[in-house]
Amino acid sequence: MGDTIEKVSIIISKGSLEGIYPGLIMANGARAEGMEANLFFTFFGLDAIHKKRHEHIKVATVGNPGLHLATMAGGLPGMSSVMTHYLERKMEKLDIPSIPEFIEMISDTGAGLYGCKASCDLFEMTKDDLIDQVKDIITVGEFYEMAAGGQIIFT
């Protein structure tokens, strides 16, 4: 069999749709392969597990050359919503779950969800602001303890 990965700790640090999905897909995929997986949300990545915000995650249309939009056009009012709608429709056709549904599913797979203490302090968030599936708000030291012996992925 050769080398196998037994455990992954995935950090999600961005609050845009394209910043959040890759980490979620990697965590879900790790569990599907039988690996242990933990997700750690820091800085704007916390929006993915924020009760009031996780249903309103948007694609970044400014400063995103991958969209092949003129920079000025990306900044027009409503552009981010339009692009998000467009992508969400495409994802639905491919049966890719929405972010809230995906996170609930990942929690059901047994992966751990954690918020970053420094970021929660900075944004004045408490565990009550975060969705129920979040196990705890932890420090960077606790994160490293939890990640010991596995792979760490920063997104």
> Which spans of this chain sit near other proteins (rule: CB under 8 A)?
25, 28-29, 31-34, 95-97, 105, 108-110
Nearer to other proteins, 67 or 96 (CB): 96
For residue 73, the minimal CB distance to other proteins (Å) is 30
Residue 79 contacts residue 73 (beta carbons within 8 Å): yes
User: For 86, phi and psi rounded to 5 degrees?
Assistant: -60, -50
Among residues 25 and 146, whose Cβ is nearest to other proteins? 25
Instruction: Give the residue with the Cβ less far from other proteins, 13 or 28.
Output: 28
Q: Which residues contact 9 (CB under 8 A, 6 or more apart)?
A: 37, 38, 40, 143, 146, 147, 150, 151, 152, 153
In the complex, the smallest distance separating the C-beta of residue 68 from other proteins, rounded to whole angstroms, is 24
CB of 133 to other proteins, least distance (A): 12
Q: How far apart are CA 28 and CA 48, in angstroms?
A: 15
